[in-house]
Structure 1
Amino acid sequence: MCGILGLLLHDPSIDAASEIAEGLSLLQHRGQDACGIVTGGPKGRFFQCKANGMVRDVFDSNAIARLVGGMGIGHVRYPTAGSAHHAEAQPFYVNSPYGIVFAHNGNLINTGSLLHFMDADAHRHINTSSDSELLLNIFANELQKTGKFRINEEDIFTAIGGLMAQAKGAYACVAMLAGFGIIAFRDPNGIRPVGMASRAAAGGRDWMFASESVVADASGFGGWEDVRPGEAVIITRASVSRRQVAPPAAFAPDIFEFVYFARPDSVLDGISVYRSRMAMGDALAEEVRRVLAEKKIEVDVVIPVPDTSRVAALNLAQQLKLPYREGFIKNRYVGRTFIMPGQQMRKKNVRKKLNAMALEFANKNVLLVDDSIVRGTTSKEIIQMAKDVGAKQVIVASCAPPIRFPNVYGIDMPSRYELVGHGRTVEQISDAIGADLVIFQTLPDLISSVRQFNPAIASFDCSVFTGEYVTGGVDAAYLDHLERLRADNVKGKAIVGDVAVLEGKGGGGARDTSGSEGASVSGSGGPVNGHDDTIGLHNTWKSS
């Protein structure tokens, strides 16, 4: 899972970098592995800074000062496959044709055939294991076909349509063309989110693309609209152009965005994440009431597993007329555990992240409410923590059904065999995590909890619960391949040689072995909108 952001200021003399960095900090929950910004400055020149680490650490005042220009692209990342090396931090860049910067959230499912095409037919070199770089080069290849000195919106729409005809999977993308403007597009099923907003500026309007609406709200942008599935949007300082460039497909946003990933103060595809989680709590309360009556168990207190489940837990407690208490105190300086590489690291960090207050657990039957149970590592540790401080019984209620299948669209649920729900009954899951009882939300109730706020969405991608993948093309052989790529014991090993490699292609590539700040590399790019100035990628690699 990643967060993407594009910003175009109407006044090109105002640098966009500081505002992009602030926006990325609001998307930090979507990726804590690496972050990057590339800005477009005078004469079509690009300025770049990216590194492993958190936004607040990478983008200090010195880094921001070197990012010149009134438009730019930003990205926060955690890797779902392959390398965690900073050479794969986004945005990516190619200097031919025209100079393109690109950031992507999602995952492709046909990378093998696309890589062969890039090598055998397009003759474009893919330098990392990231399918984001692959998507960028598909886009670049489609633009290259125009053979034009100047390109226009029509050429870009055609190129994105060609990309969508080839790429299969989930992708929400933002891009920037040197001296031209910013672009966003979304896969035909709309699996991953991206939207747009604007605000008044002297003489015109500023424009923003972002993964979630909260970024626009915090930055004073209004009129938030989701980029539609299969749609491309091109924004320059002179115009805004939108077009459906892919044939109609089933609109199926990933329901797990609402369960876990998105911030509660965001609105995705017309649905308030906060309201949907309230509804999840209401629906889960009915299932909990039924199961507790059947098992003849009485609960003394409802305690959420912070933070994502708080909204649902509060509504559940109100419906069941039970006390709601904060039993866990969270250390806010430890990242999300289920996106950490390695089970041992996840287990170790749970107790660094949460501390149980004995006062709320001692001699009580406790109902813990969590958003979901993925690997079970976190749940097992939390349940043991509750028992260590005196809980008599620990019942777990999950806002999501059992997760039994891997996510292939950009969320790090890699191996079927790492998922505690795979091949287990509810009773076996309960035993595996050490709970006295586990109660899961039903899938129809989960879908209803989200869909009621936008009935126009006929379906959601629920593949982690059902194993039914909306794009097709996912079989046992593909899952085996994906699991090998994503396995915990290989993540981070597939680095790009032993040096950091800059992503300037087509004559602009260079190696940086210093790991220091201030390195720069220039490459020759094609002319855009009539000028043929050399496009320089001024690059800052921060030590990771």
Structure 2
Amino acid sequence: MLAEIKGLNEECGIFGVWGHEDAAQITYYGLHSLQHRGQEGTGIVSTDGESLKGVKGEGLVAEVFSSDAIKDLKGKAAIGHVRYATAGGSGYENVQPLLFHFQSGSLALAHNGNLVNATQLKGQLEGQGSIFQTSSDTEVLAHLIRRGGFSSFKDRVKNALSMLKGAYAFLIMTESELMVALDPNGMRPLSLGKLGDAYVVASETCAFDVVGAEFIRDVMPGELLIIDDNGFTSEMYSVASNIAMCTMEYVYFSRPDSDINGINVHKARKNLGKQLAIEAPIEADVVTGVPDSSISVAIGYAEASGIPYELGLIKNRYVGRTFIQPSQALREQGVKMKLSPVRGVVEGKRVIMVDDSIVRGTTSKRIVTMLKDAGATEVHVLISSPPIKNPCFYGIDTSTKEELIASKHSVEELRELIGADSLTFLSVEGMIEAIGRKDEGENRGHCLACFTGKYPTDIYPTTKETSTC
């Protein structure tokens, strides 16, 4: 749906390259392809082998980086970050990559995810004399690395990573190497690619297509990749356990042209639509999807049901970001600015409206109203995921149960609240079956915490106080 409006936002996207003469330029293009993962801030840090230099700012990739800024980031390697900030976590100082200068060298960090024990670790570190410059949980890793009691930098990094709990994909860059780490549960997507003689790393494989890189493989849960001028090596800093890829990567967050753990997102969403056709057969005249993530689902439903798919809703792609505000009134106005019904498609028709989720309910209600105002005789809402009843502590900005409308109302009550003629959510079992991550000789598990309330890691009392990314 519309991430800026409905409040379901993935926190970050990361991209890195080592061994390319135009590393910063490549990173710029990579971040541009990951812009959907965060629109509030972005940054790039590059190295020429002798020092690290960074440029960052609040805003979109194209707004922050001028051609002169990119040219100024010289070097053979770079890491970049796009960010969506949660409450209390915005501000220039929290924009990544975070860059630290020490007497013995420099360190840059880029992070996708959220550390659920960040508050506990920060308290311990402050008690030992650490002074934090940001409210971001990412900075915790830098302090842990610097305070590690090992002689080699690699061992300090491995020891620091072993102390973290939660969801994280990290890029750690110094003047001489780029380290890549994924949490032992594998909650966030992270892939390795090759561009000529250079190595690239990205949150989504769509970034490889944009920069012309070839996909090599996914980074494994609990793995630490070390990339330098001699190539890359791999070590396991932790045993992979309780694999729990965020299911919403397939349902909503990732671009449809990305492959997550070998599964194409567009195909997975089409299968979600086909599964909806099995679980919710409805007599209607037309199927339409809420742009963008639900279009693939709507196509799948149409193919399986035989009901024609039409563009019943058009997204205005030229609206600025001035309405991205927390107030409910502005969220409602934002829907009007972003979406328009196609009267010629829906007038006099029984419409099936497919969407990926319902968080607060405001957007769904507004879209149903728009379709009926445009002449739809019936509007049946199908959701390609189960009801979101529980907060996410792993990098999505639903940190309290109170803000989730499905936690307080039954499906029938939700139907009445949004004004739909019917409302159906996909079952948990149907969602897993459709995505295709069932065990095939290996653990390809899902994180289903927002649906079931069963979290793949321990959740600490102060978890919701931490700032993601």
Q: Would the TM-score normalized by the shorter structure come out above 0.5?
A: yes
Q: Describe the shift of the 1:245–1:335 C-alpha distance in structure 2 as closer, same or farther (beyond 3 A).
A: farther
Measure the CA separation in 2 of the matches of 1:183 and 1:331: 40
The answer to whether the 8 Å contact 2:167/2:394 transfers is yes
Q: How does 1:84-483 map to 2 (within 5 A)?
A: 84-96=90-102, 98-121=105-128, 123-142=129-148, 145-147=149-151, 151=152, 155-156=153-154, 158-178=155-175, 180-200=176-196, 205-289=197-281, 292=282, 298-334=283-319, 341-452=326-437, 455=440, 456-474=442-460, 477-478=461-462, 482=464
Per the alignment, in what secondary structure is the counterpart of residue 5 of structure 1?
Answer: strand
Per the alignment, in what secondary structure is the counterpart of residue 407 of structure 2?
Answer: coil
**Could you say which residue in structure 2 is the equivalent of 1:8?**
18
Measure the CA separation in 1 of the matches of 2:186 and 2:52: 30
Would you identify which runs of 4 or more consecutive aligned residues in structure 1 move more than 4 Å? 335-340
**Structure 1: which 5+ runs fail to align?**
293-297, 492-544
**Could you say which residue in structure 1 is the equivalent of 2:66?**
60
> Does residue 29 in structure 1 map to residue 21 in structure 2?
no
Measure the CA separation in 1 of the matches of 2:209 and 2:401: 38
Q: Describe the shift of the 1:336–1:406 C-alpha distance in structure 2 as closer, same or farther (beyond 3 A).
A: farther
The answer to whether the 8 Å contact 1:337/1:346 transfers is no
**Could you say which residue in structure 2 is the equivalent of 1:534?**
none
Deviation at 1:326, TM superposition (A): 0.2
Q: Describe the shift of the 1:261–1:334 C-alpha distance in structure 2 as closer, same or farther (beyond 3 A).
A: farther
Per the alignment, in what secondary structure is the counterpart of residue 84 of structure 1?
Answer: coil
Deviation at 1:37, TM superposition (A): 0.4
Deviation at 1:371, TM superposition (A): 1.3
Deviation at 1:410, TM superposition (A): 0.2
Measure the CA separation in 2 of the matches of 1:218 and 1:335: 24
Per the alignment, in what secondary structure is the counterpart of residue 131 of structure 1?
Answer: coil
Query: Which amino acid in the other structure matches residue 189 of structure 1?
Result: N
The answer to whether the 8 Å contact 1:100/1:140 transfers is no
Deviation at 1:335, TM superposition (A): 7.3
Query: Which amino acid in the other structure matches residue 355 of structure 1?
Result: S
Measure the CA separation in 1 of the matches of 2:436 and 2:322: 28
Per the alignment, in what secondary structure is the counterpart of residue 105 of structure 2?
Answer: coil
The answer to whether the 8 Å contact 1:197/1:223 transfers is yes
The answer to whether the 8 Å contact 1:301/1:325 transfers is yes
The answer to whether the 8 Å contact 1:82/1:130 transfers is no
Deviation at 1:7, TM superposition (A): 0.6
The answer to whether the 8 Å contact 1:190/1:251 transfers is yes
Query: Which amino acid in the other structure matches residue 405 of structure 1?
Result: N
Deviation at 1:138, TM superposition (A): 1.9
Per-residue CA deviation, residues 433-482 of structure 1 (Å, 9 max, x unaligned), is: 222211110000101112358733342001010111001235xx45xx62
Deviation at 1:337, TM superposition (A): 12
Measure the CA separation in 1 of the matches of 2:311 and 2:359: 22
Measure the CA separation in 2 of the matches of 1:61 and 1:72: 16
Per the alignment, in what secondary structure is the counterpart of residue 417 of structure 2?
Answer: helix
Count of matched residue positions in the alignment of Structure 1 and Structure 2: 456
Measure the CA separation in 2 of the matches of 1:391 and 1:93: 54
**Could you say which residue in structure 1 is the equivalent of 2:77?**
71
The answer to whether the 8 Å contact 1:451/1:457 transfers is no
Q: Describe the shift of the 1:132–1:115 C-alpha distance in structure 2 as closer, same or farther (beyond 3 A).
A: same
Measure the CA separation in 2 of the matches of 1:485 and 1:46: 28
The answer to whether the 8 Å contact 2:346/2:376 transfers is yes
Measure the CA separation in 1 of the matches of 2:446 and 2:252: 15
Q: Describe the shift of the 1:339–1:2 C-alpha distance in structure 2 as closer, same or farther (beyond 3 A).
A: farther
Measure the CA separation in 2 of the matches of 1:82 and 1:210: 27
The answer to whether the 8 Å contact 2:52/2:174 transfers is no
Deviation at 1:81, TM superposition (A): 4.0
**Structure 2: which 5+ runs fail to align?**
1-10
> Does residue 18 in structure 1 map to residue 25 in structure 2?
yes
**Could you say which residue in structure 2 is the equivalent of 1:540?**
none
Deviation at 1:409, TM superposition (A): 0.3
Deviation at 1:425, TM superposition (A): 0.9
Residue identity (%): 37
Per the alignment, in what secondary structure is the counterpart of residue 405 of structure 2?
Answer: coil
Deviation at 1:247, TM superposition (A): 2.6
Query: Which amino acid in the other structure matches residue 454 of structure 2?
Result: E
The answer to whether the 8 Å contact 2:119/2:466 transfers is no
Deviation at 1:29, TM superposition (A): 0.3
TM-score, structure 1 as length reference: 0.80
**Max radius of gyration: which structure?**
1
Per-residue CA deviation, residues 32-54 of structure 1 (Å, 9 max, x unaligned), is: 01100011125x22221111111
Measure the CA separation in 2 of the matches of 1:338 and 1:30: 18
The answer to whether the 8 Å contact 2:270/2:300 transfers is yes
